[in-house]
Amino acid sequence: MRDLLLVLILLWALPKAVKHTYVAVNLWSWISLMNPHRLSYGFAFDMPFAAIAAAAALISLAVTKDTLAIPKERPVIFLALFITWMFVTTATAIYPEDSIVQLKKVLKIQIMTVVALAALHERRHIQLFLWINVLSIGFFGLKGGFFTVLTGGGARVWGPPGSFIEDNNELGTALIMTIPLMNYLRLVSPQKWVKRGLLTLTLLSAAAALGTQSRGALLAIAAMGFVLWLRSERKALTGISIALVGTLLISFMPSTWESRMSTIQDYQNDGSAMGRINAWHLAVNIANHRLTGAGFEAYTPETFAWYAPNPVDIHVAHSIYFSVLAEHGYIGLFLFLGVWMSSLGIASRIRKETRHDPELLWLFHLAGMCQVSLIGYAVGGAFLSLAYFDLPYNIMVILVTSWRWLKTHQKEAESKELAGRAQIA
């Protein structure tokens, strides 16, 4: 039944996706983030839904009558340079053939990121894209939240198989990143039932994030809570609310969860943590010896024998920073960080220009929540291999296209004002 339903949804959406590129972008994002076919049990499980959505998007680029234009803001320039540098690091990789396989996977995501940048122009495009991202990850927050409550937090929450967020740690960070976006939608929604539904989804997603028993997610949610408190105009009320909700959720978790979280302080006796640190030393040593890094296939017995302090403790870097450093060197890391620092900069500019305009208050809140989400990614990603995960790049798309919408809106308002003055004169 699930298989048939997914195929029917795809057949219904494809004509619209070919006609309108922004629809194709949303179809791709839904499939890429939620992986709905991985929740089926029949023929749809291995169907190339993402490839079909991507093909529809590329056809749409040629036939659509909608406006298409790639913005030239700093995050886009940094991203273009980062993608270009990936070709260089793959060509000079220690294992170029194996690196090409991963490069192709990364390029699929980045090509669709560029398509999204070109296609999202109107406010409704941005809002729909935001809803798709929130609901795609929020589904696992809803499901995982109920699971955590029903099991008393005694079992871990996992993501869909074969996806970026299959592992409990990756899912935990994805949920943490999505919670601020849920909060934005709650703030701007005029319907009470939507507000209540989003609040419920937020609480269940927080429970699910704790239910993943991810230490990185715990650090990310702590960092985001602090930023939300700083952002709040009513700091006392916000601080008390965050403290109460946090205390309630943590008190619900079993002693096994507390024991796992306590290893954050006692990382020297944690084999997993020490394995990551060994891989981080590997990354630094590779970058010091190779300008272009090792390429995507950086974690092999040979590379650990050459560059790691402990050559037999073989792990991937489990860090967005050290994985990029190992794979693309210091230049790659600089470009990668440039994408996110410039994205945070655009968010700050949006907030500065919309702070005192009631009509643009939605943009003010959106930019603020995107900032909080990216901070969650920056903290949680420090312990996870999510450097090429769709969601943070989608948040960058939301910020850049929102900035473009704001500039267009301001120009139109100025033109109307000048026309009005001319008529009076």
Q: From 78, 74, 180, 66, select the one nearest 116 (Cα to Cα).
A: 66
Question: Do 278 and 169 lie in a common domain?
Answer: no
Percentage, residues of the chain above pLDDT 70: 83
The reply to whether 145 falls in a domain is yes
Question: Do 211 and 243 lie in a common domain?
Answer: yes
The reply to whether 195 falls in a domain is yes
Question: Do 280 and 348 lie in a common domain?
Answer: yes
The reply to whether 278 falls in a domain is yes
Local confidence band at 137 (pLDDT 50, 70, 90 cut-offs) = very high
Q: How far apart are CA 304 and CA 286, in angstroms?
A: 10
Question: Do 81 and 141 lie in a common domain?
Answer: no
Question: Do 353 and 409 lie in a common domain?
Answer: yes
Residue matched to tokens 């490839």: 51
Local confidence band at 44 (pLDDT 50, 70, 90 cut-offs) = confident
Assign 132 to helix, strand or coil. Answer: helix
Is 384:331 a contact under the CB 8 Å cutoff? Answer: no
Terminal-to-terminal C-alpha distance of the chain:
68
Domain boundary among 28, 48, 66: 66
Q: How far apart are CA 359 and CA 365, in angstroms?
A: 12
Question: Do 62 and 82 lie in a common domain?
Answer: no
The helix or strand, by DSSP H or E, that contains position 213, with its residue range, turns out to be none
Question: Do 259 and 277 lie in a common domain?
Answer: no
Q: Among the listed ranges 202-211, 319-328, 333-342, 364-373, which one has the minimum average pLDDT value?
A: 202-211
The reply to whether 190 falls in a domain is yes
Question: Do 24 and 82 lie in a common domain?
Answer: no
Q: How far apart are CA 327 and CA 310, in angstroms?
A: 19
Sequence length of the chain is: 425
pLDDT digits (tens, 9 = 90+) for 198-241: 999 998 998 888 877 766 666 666 666 666 666 666 666 666 66
For residue 382, what are the domain limits?
A: 72-119+269-364+376-425
pLDDT digits (tens, 9 = 90+) for 243-295: 665 555 555 555 554 555 555 454 444 546 677 888 899 999 999 999 999 99
Question: Do 153 and 26 lie in a common domain?
Answer: no
Mean pLDDT of the chain: 85
- 10 Å Cβ neighbour count for 293? 30
Residue matched to tokens 């309630």: 248
Q: From 163, 156, 157, 139, select the one nearest 38 (Cα to Cα).
A: 163
Question: Do 296 and 386 lie in a common domain?
Answer: yes
The mean per-residue pLDDT over the stretch 50-63 comes to 91
Residue 189 structure tokens? 């929604």
Task: Tell me: pLDDT of 29 over 60.
Answer: yes
The reply to whether 370 falls in a domain is no
Task: Tell me: pLDDT of 313 over 90.
Answer: no
Q: Which residue has the higher pLDDT, 66 or 240?
A: 66
Q: How far apart are CA 253 and CA 367, in angstroms?
A: 33
Domain boundary among 22, 43, 66: 66
Question: Do 285 and 418 lie in a common domain?
Answer: yes
The reply to whether 386 falls in a domain is yes
Question: Do 184 and 205 lie in a common domain?
Answer: yes
pLDDT of residue 267: 47
Q: From 311, 390, 370, select the one nearest 185 (Cα to Cα).
A: 370
Percentage, residues of the chain above pLDDT 90: 53
The reply to whether 39 falls in a domain is yes
pLDDT of residue 20: 93
Q: How far apart are CA 100 and CA 295, in angstroms?
A: 9
- Residue environment code for 199-234, b if the CB has 16+ CB neighbours within 10 A, otherwise e: eebbbbbbbbbbbbbbbbbbbbbebbbebbeebeee
- 10 Å Cβ neighbour count for 335? 21
pLDDT of residue 266: 47
Number of domains in the chain: 3
Domain boundary among 265, 287, 321: 265
Q: From 362, 331, 363, select the one nearest 346 (Cα to Cα).
A: 363
The reply to whether 194 falls in a domain is yes
Q: From 264, 255, 158, 155, select the one nearest 219 (Cα to Cα).
A: 264
Local confidence band at 11 (pLDDT 50, 70, 90 cut-offs) = confident
